[in-house]
Structure 1
Amino acid sequence: MLFRQLEYFVAVAREKHFARAADACCVSQPALSTAIAKLERELKVTLIHRGRNFEGLTPEGERLVMWAKRILAEHDALKAEVAVMQSGITGTLRLGTGPTVSTTAGLPVAAFCAMHPLARVKVCSRLSSAELVRQLRDFELDAAIAHFGPDDRESLELLPLYEEKYVLLVSGEHLVSAQPTITWAEAARLPLALLTPDMRFRQFIDDAFADCGAVAAPQVETDSVASLCAHVATGTWASIVPHTWLTSMPLAPGTRAVRLVEPDADAQISVAIHAATPGSVAARAFLNVVAGLSLDEVFPPELPERAAVQEHAELPKPRALPEPAVLVRGAR
């Protein structure tokens, strides 16, 4: 009963609305309100400011909701651990990625599924770094692959994956003549399509422009790297994307990549899970699998030749599944 009460309390804190929380928990609103009131009596503290509508958590509620989330997460981890002992990892890994690393997540996911063929993976690939960190800390995600800054490390365990470089994408030669490199200062003078300012990748780009005394004023902003590539393909704009997209996604005909220099900027891409122990079984298994990959070799910083075929890192071989039992009619 305690876990149900905590689940209702967390739902109200998340939805900030009693009716929506009740719908999320598949119970009636009176049943939800009664369970939370009972929890408050048992804890001898008021958790929620009540009026005609939800008016927020009390200071005690703000502190205790984190304990409630942790208890529910540990409860789920306990059940997952039992399932692992019985049949291996069979649950769903909730993986979040930033938009610029959404394509590179395929290799870690493939390695994880090869090692744990009964597991499933749900990938959310349009989240900002701040939202990824929040969902990890609130146990709404099991793992995330993104840029993580120094302020993001609290309560998280990080494993570096590879270094991301930046390249300028252009179509044809009317914006940029045929050359292997271009300076950031020169790129700032081009008609640009870039990611929105709330994206961590865009913040790195703005920092690189600032380092050379330039400021970019993009005409087009979007939250999708695929959209950037589509805008470049029209020949009207240039854009800046991670070098990994040259390996993971085919470029439109006539589109080419130019290395950005002065400064030679890069960013560390890492996988993160919650640092709580024992924590999510699926998250820990994912981290262990990813630790065996060499993604810097898969996504080298050198620009690949257009006709070159990029070989992927060798993935763990799938574990052999047991032969299905044969059911003989009439057998006992």
Structure 2
Amino acid sequence: MIDKLEMFIALAQTRHFGRAAEECGVTQPTLSAGIKQLEDQLGVMLVWRGSRFQGLTPEGERVLDWARRIVADARALREEMRTARRGLTGVLRLAVIPTALSAVTALTTGFRARHPGVRLRLLSRSSAEIRAMLENVEADAGVTYLDAEPLGRVTALPLYRERYMALAPRGGPLAGRERLDWAELAGLDLALLTPDMQNRRLVARHMAEAGVEADPVLEANSVITLVTHVVDGGLATVLPSRLADLFTRLGALDAVPLVAPEAEHLIGLVAPERDPPTPAVAALLQEARRLAGAEG
């Protein structure tokens, strides 16, 4: 039944029989037959059918929650038995908000040093995507904001506090400045992350608190794209201080702290709420505790 539940989860996520089949590595007729067999086994209709996927029935929504838990438990069991035989091995999937990709190195480097048999797969995703990936068993853990928007049913461990800096080309509008008010951003040609990114929503919130509107001339879902348009296109942007420090080492940028308000947000590791967690996630949580203690 586990393989059929995995097909059902994929269908609920993709909302398309063909894409779900591709994700599961089976043909579309095989996936459709698997869903029908699952319905027969449970005695309820799970999917509204037509010429294409039309959504889950009320029973399907309830089964989806059970399916996620059962599939997660089955994978955890397989991982625990593999660990008992061979030690900690396999692939750990970690979804990370774009602005934390550089800072997460401290977590992953320590983890790899202690558990060299585990391969890491880092995925750049928005906070909303991370929440969905944890629910759909597509990621084992995530690094995201802990204090800005609902997290869902997760175990959360703080890693560090994110503070913000304005960046502009060296010798440009920030030259000689020691700090910049959020309101002054309105006078710059801004490049910001797209509105689906929580960092962008936080920047817009703090600008609104300062009485101005976030009205960028360029939006992108890539931090690298923002920075290249600052360096080569003469724009300005807002980045967390740890990420800003990384780029200012290149010598082509000026960066100053943003004040009034002096905003900060908590970044941390999140993992599905499980007792016990899988061995790899348990090891990652332990590394996060170690790192948080060192940061403190």
Q: With structure 2 as the length reference, what TM-score do the two structures score?
A: 0.92
The answer to whether residue 168 in structure 2 is matched with residue 197 in structure 1 is: no
Report which stretch shifted further, 173-182 or 76-85: 173-182
**One-letter code aligned to 1:110:** T
Report which stretch shifted further, 53-62 or 262-271: 53-62
Contact 1:163–1:296, Cα closer than 8 Å, also in 2? no
Q: Deviations over 1:13-46 (max 9, x none)?
A: 2333334333433334444333332322221111
Report which stretch shifted further, 127-136 or 35-44: 35-44
**One-letter code aligned to 2:155:** E
- CA offset at residue 152 of structure 1? 2.1
- CA offset at residue 162 of structure 1? 0.5
The answer to whether residue 161 in structure 2 is matched with residue 163 in structure 1 is: yes
Residue equivalent to 2:45: 46
Higher gyration radius (CA): 1
Which of 232, 235, 252 is matched with 1:254 structurally? 252
Which of 138, 142, 149 is matched with 1:144 structurally? 142
Which of 220, 224, 227 is matched with 2:225 structurally? 227
Residue equivalent to 1:109: 108
**One-letter code aligned to 1:185:** A
Q: Give the unaligned 5+ runs of structure 1.
A: 299-332
- Secondary structure of 1:293's counterpart equals helix
Residue equivalent to 1:218: 216
Contact 2:145–2:268, Cα closer than 8 Å, also in 1? yes
**One-letter code aligned to 2:189:** P
- CA offset at residue 150 of structure 1? 5.8
- Secondary structure of 1:291's counterpart equals helix
Q: CA 1:296/1:212 → structure 2, altered by over 3 Å: closer, same or farther?
A: farther
**Count of aligned positions:** 296
- Secondary structure of 1:48's counterpart equals coil
Contact 2:227–2:237, Cα closer than 8 Å, also in 1? yes
Counterpart CA distance in 1 for 2:183 and 2:18 is 54
Counterpart CA distance in 1 for 2:258 and 2:294 is 19
Counterpart CA distance in 1 for 2:213 and 2:27 is 54
Runs of 4+ in 1 over 6 A off after TM superposition: none
Q: Give the unaligned 5+ runs of structure 2.
A: none
- CA offset at residue 156 of structure 1? 0.8
Q: Deviations over 1:37-61 (max 9, x none)?
A: 2322221111122233332211101
Q: Deviations over 1:208-248 (max 9, x none)?
A: 11112122321111112222221121362121111001444
Contact 1:170–1:237, Cα closer than 8 Å, also in 2? yes
Counterpart CA distance in 2 for 1:42 and 1:67 is 14
Residue equivalent to 1:79: 78
Identity of aligned residues (%): 37
Contact 1:147–1:268, Cα closer than 8 Å, also in 2? yes
Residue equivalent to 1:69: 68
- Secondary structure of 2:177's counterpart equals coil
Contact 1:195–1:222, Cα closer than 8 Å, also in 2? yes
Counterpart CA distance in 2 for 1:215 and 1:27 is 49
**One-letter code aligned to 1:88:** G
Counterpart CA distance in 2 for 1:43 and 1:190 is 59
Q: Which has the higher helix share?
A: 2
After TM superposition, list the pairs within 5 Å mapping 1:224-303 onto structure 2. 224-234=222-232, 236-294=234-292, 297=295
- CA offset at residue 201 of structure 1? 0.9
Which of 184, 187, 192 is matched with 1:186 structurally? 184
Contact 1:233–1:252, Cα closer than 8 Å, also in 2? no
After TM superposition, list the pairs within 5 Å mapping 1:21-60 onto structure 2. 21-60=20-59
Counterpart CA distance in 2 for 1:176 and 1:53 is 54
- CA offset at residue 10 of structure 1? 2.3
Q: With structure 1 as the length reference, what TM-score do the two structures score?
A: 0.83
Residue equivalent to 1:325: none
Counterpart CA distance in 2 for 1:7 and 1:235 is 46
Contact 1:94–1:141, Cα closer than 8 Å, also in 2? yes
Contact 1:47–1:57, Cα closer than 8 Å, also in 2? yes
Counterpart CA distance in 1 for 2:28 and 2:181 is 60
Q: Deviations over 1:129-185 (max 9, x none)?
A: 111111112221111111134652331111111011111112233423412111112
Residue equivalent to 1:316: none
Residue equivalent to 1:320: none
Counterpart CA distance in 2 for 1:118 and 1:188 is 49
Q: CA 1:261/1:24 → structure 2, altered by over 3 Å: closer, same or farther?
A: closer
Counterpart CA distance in 2 for 1:6 and 1:240 is 43
